[in-house]
Structure 1
Amino acid sequence: MNVIAFLSQKGGSGKTTLSVHTAVAAEASGERVCVIDADPQESATAWAGAREAQTPIVATAQAGDLEAALRAAKGEGMSLVVVDSPPHAAPAASQIARRSELVLIPVRPSAFDLAAVPAAVEIVRAAKVRGAFILSACPFRAPEIGETRAALEAHGLPIVPHEITDRRAFARAVTSGSAVTEFESDGKAAEEIRALWAWIRDTLKR
């Protein structure tokens, strides 16, 4: 069972959005997926409550319940667990990072997000786990995207080659309890999420 986590020390970076959409894309590719909602806001849990489909399973678990949640997921035969990590919670984030095969750090192309990057990188390195940046909620063809990529390169972690653009389809899909790959399966947002999942899947295999 592989465990991946979306982790950032800044709220509003896109962790929950990426967690649920990636989980649905992974399930569509044949994975048995569980999302662990470790964010006190429980946005992923609310999304699951609005969802008609029974999968992927979303389990609410704070840091202290993480091990039990992972054992339960393994017992249920899950092949992939996606953890939506809490912001501003270094001890919890560190525990989640240590239990993950891959930690993805969402970064919006903004000065505030870049300022939060060193703390997340420190957590990944202390956990001795693979990490990567994913540019999220990017304005369409904005110069800030290239500038942010250049700034992230200095931290020495891989950068997912496909950024996630700030598209209305994401918000519309979440409102209906669906993912963009279901809501607008042939749209650009769905294409970006499938590309992200393909990169994650290939990285986990290496």
Structure 2
Amino acid sequence: MSVIAVVNRKGGAGKSTLATHVAGYLASLGHDVMLGDVDKQQSSRLWLSLRPESTPKIHGWTMDERNFARPPAGVKHVVLDTPGGFQGVGLMKVALYADAILIPATTSIFDRTAAEDSIKELRTFPRIASGKCSLGCVGMRIDGRTKNAEALQAWASALGLPYLTTIKAAAAYSKCLEQGLSIFDFPRAKVEPYLEEWQGITTWLNELLAFAPPEPKISRPVDGHSSTPVRTAEPAPPVDHRPLPVRVAESAAAHAATNPATDSNINLPEFLRR
């Protein structure tokens, strides 16, 4: 099981938009996904309640920062949406289980200062300090006509923080949230310009999840002399030495062939019709 948390102490930094879209991406690949909402505002939980039945299923999980516990067993991926002001024991508990933490930020001095405080605290935790939990920064709601993306990337670089991508300011994202949807719930041809913005995140996630070890399975002996289940590990898959983008594209094409997305699957809203 992988746990991906979205963290920034500053409210309004784009955490819920990022968390719901990460969950939507993983679900679009056919993975079993749970979206956990630690925020008292329960924005992600509201998004789930609006989600159409025709979209890939995403399970909900409600908790609060004081009672946060290990994610439920049996779920392949957990995405956590955390609140503004998240620090101390609550943040420590999330970092205890997280495999990756995404830090959304805007060019606002308040956002960047809050993000820096979060990064500084996160790096005091053993899993982050040892590299077992990866950190990545995402620029949110950036005006594409300005050089703000370059400035934010330079800021992240100065902190030694990988800068994954820039998500530009667009009404399409708020419209998606209002309908319980993500960009990944639409036919690719309809949302190609938006998907290009997310490629840095999806590639990072694909690389991260590719290193997850195979889960053990239960098998029984064939000689009939014992009824005790024997735990064996899945054989390691053959190593694919092709470049990651080629492998990702092939995987996406195979998924699309077996799970065709058409306008009849989802009532495509006017703002995404092209």
TM-score (norm 1): 0.89
CA contact (8 A) 1:5 1:104 kept: yes
Q: Residue 94 of structure 1: CA displacement?
A: 2.5
The answer to whether the aligner puts 1:44 opposite 2:44 as a matched pair is yes
C-alpha separation in 2, matches of 1:99 and 1:24: 21
1:98 counterpart residue number: 96
2:139 counterpart residue number: 135
C-alpha separation in 1, matches of 2:118 and 2:210: 24
Q: Residue 198 of structure 1: CA displacement?
A: 2.7
Q: Residue 152 of structure 1: CA displacement?
A: 1.6
> Based on CA coordinates, which of the two structures has the bigger radius of gyration?
2
Aligned identity (percent) is 25
The answer to whether the aligner puts 1:174 opposite 2:177 as a matched pair is yes
Q: Residue 90 of structure 1: CA displacement?
A: 0.8
80-89 or 121-130, which deviates more: 121-130
1:108-153 CA-to-partner distances (Å, cap 9, x unmatched) read 1222211112211122212232211111111114211101111121
TM-score (norm 2): 0.68
Q: Which amino acid aligns with 1:98?
A: L
CA contact (8 A) 1:8 1:15 kept: yes
Query: Aligned Cα RMSD in Å?
Result: 1.8
Query: Any gaps of 5 or more consecutive residues in structure 2?
Result: 129-133, 212-274
Q: Which amino acid aligns with 2:75?
A: M
C-alpha separation in 2, matches of 1:190 and 1:20: 15
2:66 counterpart residue number: 64
Tell me which of the two structures has the higher relative contact order, counting C-alpha pairs closer than 8 angstroms and 6 or more residues apart: 1
Query: Any gaps of 5 or more consecutive residues in structure 1?
Result: none
Match of 1:80 among 77, 101, 105: 77
C-alpha separation in 2, matches of 1:127 and 1:52: 39
Q: How many residues align?
A: 200
2:155 counterpart residue number: 151
The structure where helix makes up a greater share of residues is 1
